[in-house]
Chains A and B, each alone.
Chain A
Amino acid sequence: MSALLEIDNVTLRFGGVVAVNQVSFNVEEGEVFALVGPNGAGKSTLFNLISRIYDPAEGDIRFDGESILGKAPHDIARLGIARTFQNIELFEQATVMQNLLVGRHRHRKSNMWTELAFTPFVRAEERRHREAIEKVIDFLDLQAYRDKYIAGLPYGVRKVVEMGRALAIEPRLLLLDEPASGLSVEETQDVAFWVEDIKKQMGITVLMVEHDMHLVSAVSDRVLALADGQMLSIGKPHEVQNDPRVIEAYIGVSDEKQEVPA
């Protein structure tokens, strides 16, 4: 049986810069897989490749055994891949509920004409979507913010809403881009529990980019360390952390003031 997500020898160049260089790895169904590395290592670029925002120069990306390179960016969610963004891309002029409901777009069964007439079928669908959303709201403890506009919410809550919106898609694979960046210690702990539950209770595979090595080693099954678009090391969290090449990438030759992975 093949892996859920296969990154097969992918290379991406921006002009003369090689952002991702011959990266290959598999994400197995049901695991939490983390990408770590200094800034500019190509982690978010990999996410954008999976989201089909960029086209790889070489290589293939397969989801559930099928190449996604022929798909349009909006088809990715329909395949069952959801994602969050590093710098939060929520719908600011809408409420939390409406944001989460957009996540249900993949499950839309009505069309323009029935919606303009708002037929009983559309109403029944709306109820069904809301039932599904309610589960996400309960799971992430968002009840207090249900009808609040995003524009007025604190950063930490927005991060959670974005995760909720991705869960509303009911994905098979969840891409989390720095889920804990900018969060307090308590909030980061919440994220750790949620990621555990997403994996165990919901059975969703998680691929995440994260700088917080405590979080990474607490929740992930496997870790891939990248630097300058190159694969450095792949394996269990503690193996990767102790890999001399990874340590060198963080504190050795590069001038970047990165935290030493703990």
Chain B
Amino acid sequence: MRTVFKTSYDADINLFRHGAQRGWYILLLVVMLVLPLGVSSFAIGEMTNLLIWSIACMGLMILVGQTGQASLGHAAFLAIGCYANVLLQERLGLPFILSFPLAGLIAGIAGALIARPMTKLHGIYLAIGTLAIAILVDDFIVIAAPLTNGVIGLFAPDIDIFGLSFNRYANPERLYYLILGITLLVVLAYRNLQRSPLGRSFAAIRDSEISAQAMGVNVARTKAVAFGISAGITGLAGALMGHFAGIFNNETFNIIISIQLLLAIVIGGLGTIHGAFFGAAVVALLPQAISMTRDLLNQVLGGGSIAIPGLESAIFGAILIAFILFEPSGIYGRWFKIRTYFELFPFYRRDMFRRQKSYLKTERMR
């Protein structure tokens, strides 16, 4: 809640709102950079996984948080990015440095093309339409077995950039730094989008299509562009997931992944980059947290280690339900409130962020 005295238009345009904010982010970056020096290679792997999920979450966030379009089908674009990247390397012999951006481009174009006929759909119709796409892509991978090797799946080769090899097990730090760099580029692109006309037209569509149109925004085209950028970034994450997992098939990107991705950004907090990272942290680290808790319980209680199927998604679901009921603005929203509390201490009022209760009018009238 710091008041910034703006002395030029650049104060609005710059990446950071004030010097202190920039300082904090530089500190965060330094921590991220020195992190691999102090932790085990297992932990580095987990951090890498978290970063990949963050890219995927940012991809979906652009669509859901920024443009207000729901998608239950983003696993499709993870899959397209992943298969495109590996097939370009294996079949055409392209190096990673070309196949990776091309994979993002292919996923993006696919996203825009698929979205184009669906731009008139809203709410549930869009949700089910995108869900159908995830299922269709899943099935298509099975049918197109000559290309994709069907349910048996494909191996992803090690990432190789000008003779430098990146492998999760052989040199985890190197892979971590590569993916950290890619993540930073995506964050920068996301920020650029937010502060430019295209990002504003996304927000305009989210809040009122009818007046976005009256301002000269081509709603159908802009939605398709949003889908395209979102699918492109998600495709990049998919390509990295393929390399990280080493082997993948149609099941790697099933609809549950789509749903998890959407749930993650809701838990994280819709509409913010922070939210994408918080959500990714929950998805990426939850399985480890659960298994660690279980091991701990087993040690204390002395029971054998029994795997309970579905526990992970059940806990995930329970966390989500709690968030939607008690903190709909997600982890970021909660963090923001806590921060404001300390910044304004002792002047914070309880109902400072209270939302106005509204009555739902029919969404059939669109």
Interface residues of A (CB under 8 A from B): 51, 53, 72-78, 82-83, 85, 89-94, 97-98, 101-106, 108, 110, 112, 115-118, 122-123, 125-127, 129-131, 165, 169
* Bound Cα distance from A130 to B11, whole angstroms: 11
Is B12 a contact of A130 with CB atoms below 8 Å? yes
Question: Can you give 7 A-B contacts (C-beta < 8 A)?
Answer: A89-B210, A91-B203, A91-B211, A118-B192, A123-B13, A125-B197, A126-B9
* Bound Cα distance from A45 to B58, whole angstroms: 41
List, in ascending order, chain B residues with CB within 8 A of A101's CB. 197, 200
* Bound Cα distance from A90 to B209, whole angstroms: 10
Q: How far is the CB of A130 from chain B (nearest CB, A)?
A: 4
* Bound Cα distance from A104 to B198, whole angstroms: 11
* Bound Cα distance from A18 to B214, whole angstroms: 25
List, in ascending order, chain B residues with CB within 8 A of A76's CB. 214, 216
Given A76-B214, A102-B217, A169-B216, are A115 and B207 also a contact pair (CB < 8 Å)?
A: no
Q: How far is the CB of A52 from chain B (nearest CB, A)?
A: 9
Closest to B225 in A: A112
* Bound Cα distance from A54 to B261, whole angstroms: 39
Is B212 a contact of A102 with CB atoms below 8 Å? yes
Is B195 part of the binding interface, using a Cβ–Cβ cutoff of 8 Å?
A: yes
List, in ascending order, chain B residues with CB within 8 A of A73's CB. 213-214
Is A115 a contact of B192 with CB atoms below 8 Å? yes
Number of chain B residues whose Cβ lies closer than 8 Å to a Cβ of chain A: 32
Closest to A118 in B: B192
* Bound Cα distance from A108 to B193, whole angstroms: 14
* Bound Cα distance from A112 to B195, whole angstroms: 12
List, in ascending order, chain B residues with CB within 8 A of A110's CB. 196-197
Q: Mark B170-206, 1 if CB is under 8 A from A, else 0.
A: 0000000000000000000100110111111101101
Is B73 part of the binding interface, using a Cβ–Cβ cutoff of 8 Å?
A: no
Given A91-B208, A116-B193, A131-B9, are A77 and B216 also a contact pair (CB < 8 Å)?
A: yes
Is A90 a contact of B207 with CB atoms below 8 Å? yes
Is A126 a contact of B215 with CB atoms below 8 Å? no
Q: How far is the CB of A117 from chain B (nearest CB, A)?
A: 7
Is A127 a contact of B210 with CB atoms below 8 Å? no
Given A74-B217, A116-B192, A126-B9, are A89 and B211 also a contact pair (CB < 8 Å)?
A: yes
Q: Mark B76-104, 1 if CB is under 8 A from A, else 0.
A: 00000000000000000000000000000
List, in ascending order, chain A residues with CB within 8 A of B351's CB. none
Is A127 a contact of B197 with CB atoms below 8 Å? no
List, in ascending order, chain B residues with CB within 8 A of A127's CB. 9-10, 13
